[in-house]
């Protein structure tokens, strides 16, 4: 059982006491339960950006002092990232991209070979860990159990069926819809026994839970890891791809400045890794923000962060379960998860619920399908017929849920305020529905 902690995480984060207007004309302290989309920045990260700004310069090949310093900071950052996730830089490389989506697309393009190659994804993935593979591979999807968790037996059967032809198993570390954490290291062992590699989409997991790419048992190592800084309390978004060096045998999918050592009209000598995969001027400020956020997350401790966020999650689950008229989705057990809760108010569409919470209480949530439509369809038990009807008639309302996603700076008092407002909304359901339906 998780208990309330008194760590002063709130002081670490910028903007947590910002006052915003609500429908009554009052100004209230904003409550952000939309951290799965983007987190506010750490104060420390902003301070480090400002501290570095006078030294900001071009990197690689510049001879000026500022350029040399900027280049050193940029290259040293890769070791900071590798240490944070325990990546082995003798066999892997750290590549900077715009975001997690670009990282996955890069992997898909480099792995593409025979059209008969198989990618196994799952029915709980963000679209970014599904769509990039579809035009290049045969894609299969791991089944889910009735709680929305992966059916590991189904994955094992699929790996056995294809007899070593599975190029990659692409799995989310934690679902952006339900928060459920997948047993990625044991899945990695299963993949490696079948001569396959594993990619973990760590966007929802890395800021909230300890992660180890190179555990003691080498068969459990993670081959590919992708994540984004904008979910890690760092602005100036940048994405990270940690990947085996052996994968990058062909020229990059994006070429140009920074990717070459020598060029004539008839010849190109490509740069060494990771430079040849980072075309153009890199996002140096984004790297400074990322490494500063990593330093702060490491200083606070991901185990402490996870314990605090899960205490909020357990408290919210307990209170929501006591309210008639609330539907919860997925496994509600406080085990193997990050602090995300999907729900709906019975009789009120998800978009209207989100609007009411914002306009009446200054509470930010997200609603919809969160770029994971097949998973939402499964959780809401939407039939194939319903989906076909929506394809034929785009004007039909989109299904979806309301998502609460907690960050380290959220408090039990904020959750209590949410619960109080939800009870008020349900008690006056018809009034609020009429008020906000248009």
Q: What is the mean pLDDT of residues 77-88?
A: 98
Task: Give the separation between CA 182 and CA 163, rounded to whole angstroms.
Answer: 24
Q: What is the DSSP string of 302-365?
A: HHHHHHHHHHHHHHHHHHHHTSTTEEE-S---SSSB-SEEEEEETTS-HHHHHHHHHHHH-EE-
Cβ–Cβ < 8 Å for 151, 124: no
Task: Give the separation between CA 75 and CA 55, rounded to whole angstroms.
Answer: 15
**pLDDT above 80 (res 214):** yes
Dihedral angle over CA of 243, 248, 254, 258, nearest 10: 90
Mark 138-176 as b/e (b = at least 16 C-beta within 10 Å). bbbbbebeeebbbebebbbebbeebeeebbbbbbbbbbb
Question: Tens digit of pLDDT for each residue in 375-401?
Answer: 999 999 998 888 888 888 888 888 999
Average pLDDT, the chain: 95
Dihedral angle over CA of 259, 264, 269, 274, nearest 10: -10
> Bigger pLDDT: 403 or 271?
403
Q: What is the mean pLDDT of residues 106-113?
A: 94
CATH architecture of 9-41+301-437: Alpha-Beta Complex (3.90)
Q: What is the mean pLDDT of residues 178-201?
A: 98
Nearest 5°: the CA angle 189, 158, 119 is 80
Confidence label for 7 from pLDDT (cuts 50, 70 and 90)? low
Give the residue extent of every domain in the chain: 9-41+301-437, 46-299
The pLDDT value given to residue 397: 85
Among all chains, which residue has been given the structure tokens 């960050």?
Answer: 407
- H/E run at residue 269: strand 268-270
How far, rounded to the nearest angstrom, does the alpha carbon of residue 210 sit from its chain's CA centroid? 14
Task: Give the separation between CA 177 and CA 201, rounded to whole angstroms.
Answer: 14
Q: What is the mean pLDDT of residues 174-186?
A: 98
Cβ–Cβ < 8 Å for 186, 221: no
- Residue in 14, 191, 369, 371 annotated catalytic: 371
The pLDDT value given to residue 2: 47
The pLDDT value given to residue 393: 87
pLDDT-above-70 percentage for the chain: 98
Task: Give the separation between CA 123 and CA 150, rounded to whole angstroms.
Answer: 8
The pLDDT value given to residue 340: 98
Q: What is the mean pLDDT of residues 69-78?
A: 97
The pLDDT value given to residue 438: 79
Task: Give the separation between CA 9 and CA 305, rounded to whole angstroms.
Answer: 9
The pLDDT value given to residue 253: 83
Taking each helix axis from N to C end, the angle separating 65-85 and 284-300, rounded to the nearest 10 degrees, works out to: 40
Among all chains, which residue has been given the structure tokens 């715009």?
Answer: 98
Confidence label for 1 from pLDDT (cuts 50, 70 and 90)? very low
The pLDDT value given to residue 394: 81
371 tagged catalytic = yes
What is the fold of 46-299? 3.40.640
Question: Tens digit of pLDDT for each residue in 12-45?
Answer: 999 999 999 999 999 999 999 999 999 999 999 9
The pLDDT value given to residue 417: 98
Q: What is the mean pLDDT of residues 41-69?
A: 96
The pLDDT value given to residue 217: 96
pLDDT-above-90 percentage for the chain: 90
């Amino acid at each position: 059982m998780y208990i309330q902690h008194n760590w002063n995480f709130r002081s670490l984060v910028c903007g947590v006491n910002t006052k915003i207007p609500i429908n009554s004309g009052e100004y209230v302290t904003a409550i952000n339960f939309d951290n799965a989309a983007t987190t506010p920045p750490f104060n420390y990260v902003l301070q480090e950006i400002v501290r570095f700004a006078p030294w900001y310069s071009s990197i690689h090949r510049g001879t000026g002092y500022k350029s040399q310093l900027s280049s050193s900071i940029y290259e040293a950052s890769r070791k900071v990232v590798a240490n944070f996730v325990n990546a082995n830089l003798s066999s892997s490389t750290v590549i900077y991209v715009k975001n997690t989506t670009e990282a996955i697309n890069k992997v898909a393009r480099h792995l593409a070979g025979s059209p008969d190659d198989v990618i196994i994804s799952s029915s709980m993935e963000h679209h970014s860990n599904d769509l990039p593979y579809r035009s290049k591979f045969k894609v299969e999807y791991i089944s889910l159990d009735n709680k929305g968790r992966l059916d590991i037996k189904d994955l094992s059967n699929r790996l056995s069926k294809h007899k070593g032809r599975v190029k990659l198993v692409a799995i989310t570390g934690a679902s952006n819809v339900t928060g459920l954490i997948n047993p990625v290291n044991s899945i990695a062992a299963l993949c490696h026994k079948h001569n396959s590699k594993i990619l973990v989409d760590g966007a929802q997991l890395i800021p909230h839970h300890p992660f180890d790419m190179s555990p003691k048992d080498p068969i459990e190592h993670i081959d590919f890891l992708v994540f984004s800084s904008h979910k890690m309390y760092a602005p100036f978004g940048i994405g990270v791809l940690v990947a085996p060096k052996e994968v990058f045998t062909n020229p990059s999918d994006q070429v140009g400045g920074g990717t070459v050592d020598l060029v004539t009209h008839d010849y190109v000598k490509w740069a060494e890794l990771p430079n040849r995969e980072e075309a153009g001027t890199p996002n140096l400020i984004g790297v400074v923000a990322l490494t500063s956020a990593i330093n702060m997350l490491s200083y606070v401790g991901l185990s402490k962060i996870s314990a605090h966020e899960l205490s909020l999650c357990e408290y919210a689950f307990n209170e929501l379960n006591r309210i008639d008229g609330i539907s919860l989705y997925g496994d509600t057990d406080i085990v193997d998860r990050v602090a995300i809760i999907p729900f709906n108010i019975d009789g009120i569409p998800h978009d209207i619920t989100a609007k009411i919470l914002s306009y009446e209480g200054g509470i930010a949530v997200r609603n919809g399908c969160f770029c994971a439509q097949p998973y939402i369809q499964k959780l809401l038990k939407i039939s194939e017929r319903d989906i076909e009807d929506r394809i034929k008639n785009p004007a039909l309302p989109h299904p979806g849920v309301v998502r609460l996603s907690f960050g380290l700076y959220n408090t039990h008092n904020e959750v209590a305020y949410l619960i109080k407002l939800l009870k008020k909304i349900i008690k006056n359901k018809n009034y609020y529905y009429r008020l906000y339906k248009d």
